[in-house]
Structure 1
Amino acid sequence: MRQPATYPNLEEMCATLEKLLLGFSTVILVIDALDECKGPERPDERPWKYILTLMFQMQKKLEPQVAIKVLATSRPDLEIDEFFPEEERLTIYARDDDLAQKIELHSRIKEAICESARGMFLLAKLHCDTLATKTKPKDVLQALKAFGGDGDALAYQDTLQRIQNQPKEHRALGKKVLVCVTYSARPLTLDELRHALAVDEETKELDQEYDLDNPDDVISSCAGLVTVDSESNIIRLVHYTTQSFLESLRNQLMSDPHEFIASCCLNYLHLDAFEGHLNNYGFGSSRKFPFLRYR
C-alpha cells in the first residue's frame, strides 16, 4: 500500500492504466516527442526506452482483451528506430514548396513592415504585434495589404483593439492609464498614476499593499503604447504620434477624460488621511501619498 501524500511511481501508474484500458476494445497510445522524454534514469537506459518497454509489455499482456496500438513521434534517432519495424515507420519531411512559401511570406512581411514604418521602430513593433495575433497565412497577407494605407492610424487602431480584447479589468485599466498619460496637466510618475487610479468615491483609506495596481499590469495593459523612464520613473507615451492619435479619438477612450482626471484628484483629496489638516502635509507625506504633488 502506497503511503499517503506521495506520488505513484511509473509501475503503479502503468498498473492503474492497465485497469482502465480493460474497459475498451481498442486503444491507441500516443507519445509525442519521444526523444525529449525525461524521467527516472535506469542503468544503461534512457528514460524513453524504459517507458516504451513498459508500453510494449502492457500491449503484449493485454493483447487477448484489448487491441493496443502505440504511436510515437520523434526526431531521427537510431535507438528509437530499433523499437519499431521499418515497415511501421514513417519519415515526415517539410515539402520544398511549403518551405519556399514560408520564406516568401517572411520576405513579404519584412518588406511591408519596413515600407509602412517609414523608419519608425515603434510602428514596426506595433505592426509585428498585430501580425503575431494572426493564425493563418491568409490573415497575415490581408494585414500586410492594410499596412499600405495610413500605417500610423492602422497600427494604433490595431493596438487599441488588442487593448479592447483584454479581460475586463485589464481593458478598463489600460484605458484609464492612456487617458491619464495623454490628458494630465503634467507628466506623471508611475507611482503617482497608480495612486490616482487606486481611489474612487467610496475610498476612505488607501492600503499601499493591497489597493495599488501592479506596475507591470499598468504597463502591459496598454499593449506597448506607454513606457516608463528608468531614471525619473515618469510614465509617458512611446511616441509623439501616439499622443496625436489618442487626442484625435476625442471621447472614444472615455466620455470625458478631463472629468475623469478631476474626479481622481477629488477622490484622492477626500481620503480620511487628509481630513481637516491637508495644509499640514509636506514633503514627507507626499512621498507616502505621491499623487498629492499633482497640480
Structure 2
Amino acid sequence: MRGSEFADLRAFATIVAYGTFARAAVQLSVSPSALSQTIRGLEARLGVRLLNRTTRSVSVTDAGSRLYARLKPVLEELEAAVADVNDLRERPAGTLRLTSSRVGAERFLAPILGPFHRAYPDIVLDTTVDDVVRDIVAEGYDAGIRLGEMISDDMVAIKLGGSLRQVAVATPEYLDRHGVPQHPRDLLDHACINWRWTETGRIYHWEFQEPGGDWFSVAVKGPIIVTDRSMVLAAALQGVGIALWLEDRILPYVKDGRLVPILEEWSGAFPGFFLCYPKQRHTPLPLRVFTDFMRATYG
C-alpha cells in the first residue's frame, strides 16, 4: 500500500469518527474542501461510495460501514505502536487539545501554565476556554475541565479541588427596598440577574436544595440576561437585583458589606470541577504527564 493510500484511509476513518468533514479537517489539519477531494479520489479508486454527503450532514454507506469496522482496530493498533515509541523520548512532546469553562480555566489552568511549561517545555497546551459543554471526543479534544454533573460515564474523571456552593446575594439597598426572600420561590417576585447557556440559548434555572433533601430549580426573571458570569456580579453590585454565583466569588463583597447573602440554608454543596478524558487502551504520554501534574497539584 502506498503512503497516500494509507493517508486516504485514515482521512475516511477520521470523518466517520468525528461525524463531519469540518471536525475531521481540524483534526487532520487540512481544509474541508481538500478532505472532500481526498474522499472522492478514494471512492473512485475503490469503485464504491463510502459516504453520503449533503450540505448539512454526512452518513456512512453500507460499504463505508464495513470498511470502517475493519479499519478502526488497525488504526488504533498503529497509533498505540507509535505512542509506545514516543514514550521512549527523553522529554515528552506533542500538542494537548484542552477544553474548559471560564471558571475552570481560571481556577485550575491559569495557575499551572508557567510551572507546567517549565517542567514539560516540548508540550503545547492548545486550550479552548468558553462556557460551551463540548463533546470532547467528537470535537477532537484530549481532555476537558468541567463540573462533575456534566461528565458522561465513559470518561475518566480526576477531582480538582473541593466541593462548591452557589449563594444568592444582593446589595443591602436592594433588600431594604424590596424585602428579603425567605424561600427560593419568593425570588419569582424579585428582579434577578439571569445567565444564558451559550450553546443552547437556554436561560439557566437557579438550583437550590431542600434543607437535607432534594434539589429543585426556580426559573427566575429579571431585567438583565448575560452569557458571562462576571457580568452577573457587576449588575448585582450596582443594585440591579439578586444574583446567584459561587460562594468564594461573592465572599470578598460580603466581607466588605457591599453584598448580603440570602437563602443560605437552601444553598447545597455540589462536587465541583474535574479533569476528564476518554477511556482508552493507551493514554498518550503528553496526556499522561499532564493528568499526573494536575493530580499532584490539585489532588
Q: TM-score, normalised by structure 2?
A: 0.25
Pick 1 or 2: higher relative contact order, CA cutoff 8 A, min separation 6: 2
Q: Which has the higher strand share?
A: 2
Structure showing greater radius of gyration is: 1
Q: TM-score, normalised by structure 1?
A: 0.25
Q: Which has the higher helix share?
A: 1
